[in-house]
């Protein structure tokens, strides 16, 4: 759990009650990532040509963050690794026809969709085999450095515990957007691309998710 999310829920800076202040929190840092970069284009070109070095470099860079993201959905590290491996296998298999403006956004979107499908299948199987038993799985710890903090709070920090419990009460879409923003530290344009929504909608979604999280913590 990132220190930045703790500051938002318990510190009040920035204040989620002020929509304009909240939306403007990192406009300057995220604007430059709204459009495809030359690096994205170069990587895609080399992937199309079957360049294994580029594929290996992409996997090395993105594998662990994607596993952490998948684990926050499926709540099982081994399953999360399988999800990410499957996504990369599909990327390589479809490399000649792959088209995207952001490889990072494409990967997170693919991992999210596959992880959600795996979760639905797991729950369905559990309900069929144990109809009277609720499926309760503890959320895996997630990494990622918090903005404005040199270290992460301990997992048994009461604030972390409160955020975890409150997070699980939110709708899946709000949970996802908070994990993308504060666990994976993605920009608003990247979140918008992953979820298939506009930049403004992504900002609004994060804003309302923070408000809902704070309300759940204080309830």
The two three-digit tokens of residue 121, written as one number: 């299948």
DSSP 51-66: -HHHHHHHHHHHHHHH
Distance CA 195, CA 87 (A): 17
The two three-digit tokens of residue 174, written as one number: 């709000």
Residue with more model confidence, 58 or 184: 58
Residue with more model confidence, 167 or 18: 167
From the CA atom positions of the chain, what is the Rg in Å? Answer: 18
CA geometry: angle 76, 80, 85, nearest 5 deg: 155
Distance CA 24, CA 36 (A): 22
Q: Average pLDDT for residues 151-173, to the nearest whole number? A: 79
Is residue 64 predicted with pLDDT exceeding 60?
A: yes
DSSP 105-157: HHHHHHHHHHHHHHHHHHHHHHHHH-TTS----PPPP---PPTT-SSPPPTT-
Is residue 131 predicted with pLDDT exceeding 70?
A: no
Tell me what the pLDDT averaged over the chain comes to: 74
The two three-digit tokens of residue 140, written as one number: 């895996």
Q: Average pLDDT for residues 13-22, to the nearest whole number? A: 43
Confidence band for 151, pLDDT divided at 50, 70 and 90: low
Q: Are 175 and 212 in contact (CB under 8 A)?
A: no
Helix/strand/coil for 75: coil
Is residue 143 predicted with pLDDT exceeding 50?
A: no
Residue with more model confidence, 122 or 189: 189
The pTM (predicted TM-score) of the whole model is 0.58
Is residue 149 predicted with pLDDT exceeding 70?
A: no
Q: Are 74 and 83 in contact (CB under 8 A)?
A: yes
What's the confidence (pLDDT) of residue 107? 93
What's the confidence (pLDDT) of residue 124? 52
What's the confidence (pLDDT) of residue 198? 85
Q: What is the pLDDT of residues 18-38, one digit of tens each?
A: 344 344 444 444 433 444 456
What's the confidence (pLDDT) of residue 11? 63
Residue 40 neighbours by CB under 8 Å, 6+ apart: 100, 101, 102, 103
């Amino acid at each position: 759990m990132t220190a930045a999310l703790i500051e938002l829920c318990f510190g009040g800076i920035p204040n989620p009650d002020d929509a304009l202040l909240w939306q403007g929190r990192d406009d300057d840092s995220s604007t430059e990532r709204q459009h495809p970069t030359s690096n994205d284009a170069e990587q895609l070109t080399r992937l199309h040509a079957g360049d294994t070095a580029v594929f290996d470099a992409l996997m090395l860079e993105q594998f662990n963050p994607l596993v952490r993201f998948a684990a926050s959905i499926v709540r099982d590290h081994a399953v999360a690794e399988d999800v990410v491996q499957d996504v990369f296998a599909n990327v390589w298999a479809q490399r000649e026809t792959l088209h995207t403006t952001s490889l990072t956004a494409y990967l997170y979107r693919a991992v999210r969709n596959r992880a959600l499908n795996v979760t639905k299948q797991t729950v369905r199987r559990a309900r069929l085999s144990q109809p009277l038993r609720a499926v309760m799985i503890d959320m895996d710890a997630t990494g990622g450095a918090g903005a404005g903090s040199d270290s992460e709070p301990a997992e048994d920090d009461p604030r972390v515990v409160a955020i975890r419990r409150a997070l699980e009460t939110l709708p899946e879409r709000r949970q996802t957007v908070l994990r993308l923003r504060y666990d994976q530290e993605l920009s608003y344009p990247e979140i918008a691309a992953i979820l298939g929504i506009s930049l403004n909608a992504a900002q609004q979604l994060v804003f309302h998710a923070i408000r809902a999280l704070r309300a759940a913590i204080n309830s």
